[in-house]
Chain A
């Protein structure tokens, strides 16, 4: 009993001694100090805690630690080292898509998940891709525009 939980976090192999029933969100923020992962609602409504789990977008508030043994987790901190992030970041800056910033780590990862599957999304597809990520500042239009710019200017990255 009390086996450690092993997983890969932003490319590094790590372990956690947390209980298997605890939220990945809390472990990322409290133990690994990855505070780019935001806690907004703890019920999968807001997307602020989004991470990439084995390559797909997941709400880390709804992931129990025991389920990620052997899995790969990427947070905004890891993703921000990539060229794809830079393309999205530049595009967000161009359209002033960021105000308070609280939703942005999750939003950017949702955009990454979308573009990884669909490098040339339509407006409707973008809105669907970010539909689980709430933003209360900019009202989404600037974000949708940013995704289109990132797709265009970051051609070949996705």
Chain B
């Protein structure tokens, strides 16, 4: 461990958790969000040289992505599902992809976070550790509001657990004002699978719309287990329900604009899947 003025650099997770429990520190993974502010009084716990946070591996169920893996590392890893690669391909620009991390994208808790949207729709779970133990929770339960999470002051996000299966048939669109370095105006990710004509997976997540990424599991459930014919007959009803459920807030763009784009993307997603 190296203790600097205004920072601690460690090379293993155990020590990082110990410092996290003993001192008031801001976890620093890639710095690409934190350094925009670059507060003079910030005391950072540098996580970028901890091997346990920088590996990507898989078990029977999940691809496990270390929280301090950079976007570039995730993009270049053969285990990474294509939907996640697509979101990284349109994220910022090379220099930021080389430094920014998936864990930072999640913990910064912006509803515009490009990779968090994918983790949402994919039913990813977060492995969170402290010196006294660990917990695993669905990413949806991690967020309390814009910039607010349930991460306790002695905890660190260690791994993102992305389900290995069911992500093959996806739809992803990021609507921004430019191609590179765009902060999304609306982002949409959808998953759709059928087995023997029955819908087995139907999931949609909306980013940059409200204080957190939006997902409506009760509405998704209306389509799961249905035949394509049944889904077609329910289409208008589903669209009407989403129209009610999505209540965008005004940001850089108007709430009306966001709403229109959300609904257009939802319809396009249904069209592409023959509903």
Stretch touching chain B among A19-27, A76-84, A85-93, A150-158: A19-27
Contacts of A70 in B (CB 8 A): 49
Give the A-B pair count, Cβ closer than 8 A. 120
Interface residue? A61 (CB, 8 A): yes
A132-B97 Cα distance, complex, nearest whole Å: 10
Interface residue? B6 (CB, 8 A): yes
State how many angstroms separate the Cβ of B91 from the closest Cβ of chain A.
11
Contacts of B44 in A (CB 8 A): 20-21, 64, 66-67
Q: Which residue of B lies closest to A57 (CB)?
A: B95
Q: Mark B129-154, 1 if CB is under 8 A from A, else 0.
A: 00000000000000000000000000
Question: Are the C-beta atoms of B36 and A44 separated by less than 8 Å?
Answer: yes
Question: Are the C-beta atoms of B99 and A21 separated by less than 8 Å?
Answer: no
Most buried by B among A70, A129, A132: A132
Interface residue? B32 (CB, 8 A): yes
Question: Are the C-beta atoms of B31 and A131 separated by less than 8 Å?
Answer: no
A89-B7 Cα distance, complex, nearest whole Å: 39
- Which of A3, A21, A110 makes the CB contact (< 8 A) with B38? A21
A66/B34 contact (C-beta < 8 A), A5-B4, A19-B4, A50-B95 known? no
Q: How many residues of A contact B (CB 8 A)?
A: 37
Contacts of B92 in A (CB 8 A): 44, 132
Q: Which residue of A lies closest to B73 (CB)?
A: A56
Interface residue? A69 (CB, 8 A): yes
State how many angstroms separate the Cβ of B32 from the closest Cβ of chain A.
5
Question: Are the C-beta atoms of B4 and A132 separated by less than 8 Å?
Answer: no
A81-B6 Cα distance, complex, nearest whole Å: 35
A52-B7 Cα distance, complex, nearest whole Å: 23
State how many angstroms separate the Cβ of A60 from the closest Cβ of chain B.
9
Chain A residues within CB distance 8 Å of chain B: 1-3, 5, 19-23, 42-45, 47, 50, 53, 56-59, 61-67, 69-70, 110, 113-114, 128-129, 131-133
What are 27 A-to-B residue pairs whose CB atoms are below 8 Å? A19-B6, A19-B7, A20-B4, A20-B9, A20-B44, A21-B6, A21-B38, A21-B40, A21-B42, A21-B44, A44-B35, A44-B92, A58-B99, A62-B32, A62-B35, A62-B96, A64-B28, A64-B35, A65-B7, A66-B6, A66-B9, A66-B46, A67-B48, A69-B2, A131-B179, A131-B180, A132-B95
